[in-house]
Structure 1
């Protein structure tokens, strides 16, 4: 069995996705609903998925909880609240008490969209992270390499809060690895940080066919740093469709891990996510 620890769903008629811009992203400007997800995973080993937020809109998370309540394979939801708001702690209550609130496992913010490299250690954000910790949720972050030192500081401030690093911390594939690899290794020194092997299909750019040999050195860094017990597979579907199909992403990840034992591969494709998201 396989857990897909990172995918999205959206309905353009309900909510626009303003990050979908330019002709190269046009394939994503349509609805992706639970039926489309079911079709994508059909015939694969994936039996459980984690639905992750896309919009900085407080209405999206309750809608995702309802989807998880009705979709067969969705086992957890990672939502969003405004961490900079004074009411961040109060925003969590209605989500946790929602009729489908049992599916909520964490919150995420697209820190990479913030111009401030130190966004993660703003006083208001740290205050909100304390509320996330108190609520028993985890926190996911997708950040640019230059923002990772601030993520590192935040992880140190809250050792009891699980931090999930999405998309391997956005490795600059084809560029200089050191500005990324050093903070990734430092993050891995914190036992409360886990990492997703996600976003790999588009890591070298949208529209480029994924190259295993080109990606392998970057994946090897997170493998060595985190180990299989703190790594988990994520398809990043449907964003991955800009470069590869769902099946191709599974195959790509499998090939990148072909040197691991059966036990180690089982951790990355299944066990780690089940433990982290309490599936």
Structure 2
């Protein structure tokens, strides 16, 4: 199926301008394709080129200043339906959220995320002080995007279980280990996460988990099929993980693979994953 023939809403996209917010995680050698600025206007252009109707912009650094700037920068961009930002979960979450919502574009704050890979403690998500912050999100009408490696999926399942009032969004299907022999472990632990009704998962960030230049739709099919079996079409969200997708063929290549891999589903199920689930989970109108 050609891009643009299905109404898609991208649940996971990044923008950055490094003069304002450096991105030290970008390796100029292995990530040369994204070693530059990607301002909000470039994201809107990319969506338009691929026939995608809108997106959720997701934070990239653990700084509240970045979130405030993202909200201000996208407030007039109709294609940006919402922002998943950052707050210090160990601090006064309601006060931080109130400050963000009172600022420019604050009404577009739909969720919170923390780049856990910056933490030395692999059990960071399970800490009591972090848990109190996670509990504070539900009354504020905010979700929490879980960004973990595949070896932390069992931990993520426990975190989701311990906070049943909070809605969780698992990024990138838990970072699928396509290049290792741990795919069986990933499949088992993803099923553990999916047992909890308060979590959904993003079908995103898959192409950069394989060896460079190796991914194909055929190699991704077992992954997508397992996600469909465990979460079901009603709890999966399409996402591009752009501009990281530029490292492996670009937005269009991943979008085409996603459309092909889900084309066997019913029209209702395709519409759900394509964007209806994203709108529902993040509380936005389309």
When normalised by structure 2's length, the TM-score is 0.92
Within 5 Å, which residues of 2 pair with 1:69-218? 69-84=75-90, 86-175=91-180, 176-205=182-211, 207-218=212-223
Give the Cα–Cα distance (whole angstroms) in 2 for the partners of residues 164 and 65 of structure 1: 20
Q: Which residue matches 1:30? A: 36
1:255 equivalent in alignment to 2:221: no
1:196–1:232 CA contact under 8 A, matched in 2: yes
1:19 equivalent in alignment to 2:25: yes
Note the alpha carbon deviations across 1:137-167, whole angstroms, 9 max, x for none.
Answer: 1000110122122211221122121100000
Secondary structure at 1:32's aligned position in 2?
A: coil
1:88–1:128 CA contact under 8 A, matched in 2: yes
When normalised by structure 1's length, the TM-score is 0.94
C-alpha root-mean-square deviation of aligned residues, in Å? Answer: 1.5
Runs of 5+ consecutive residues of structure 2 not aligned to the other structure:
1-6
- The number of equivalent residue pairs is 277
Give the Cα–Cα distance (whole angstroms) in 1 for the partners of residues 78 and 161 of structure 2: 37
Larger displacement relative to structure 2 (38-47 or 116-125): 38-47
Deviation at residue 70 of structure 1 after TM alignment: 1.6
Runs of 5+ consecutive residues of structure 1 not aligned to the other structure:
none
Q: Which residue matches 2:244? A: 239
Deviation at residue 214 of structure 1 after TM alignment: 1.2
Give the Cα–Cα distance (whole angstroms) in 1 for the partners of residues 135 and 101 of structure 2: 16
Secondary structure at 2:154's aligned position in 1?
A: helix
Deviation at residue 239 of structure 1 after TM alignment: 0.7
Q: Which residue matches 2:270? A: 265
2:234–2:272 CA contact under 8 A, matched in 1: yes
Give the Cα–Cα distance (whole angstroms) in 2 for the partners of residues 134 and 19 of structure 1: 33
Give the Cα–Cα distance (whole angstroms) in 2 for the partners of residues 48 and 160 of structure 1: 28
Q: Which residue matches 1:222? A: 227
Deviation at residue 209 of structure 1 after TM alignment: 4.6
Note the alpha carbon deviations across 1:175-210, whole angstroms, 9 max, x for none.
Answer: 2222211221111111110000000221214x4253
Secondary structure at 2:9's aligned position in 1?
A: strand
Deviation at residue 76 of structure 1 after TM alignment: 0.5
Note the alpha carbon deviations across 1:225-248, whole angstroms, 9 max, x for none.
Answer: 001110010000101100022111
1:8–1:51 CA contact under 8 A, matched in 2: yes
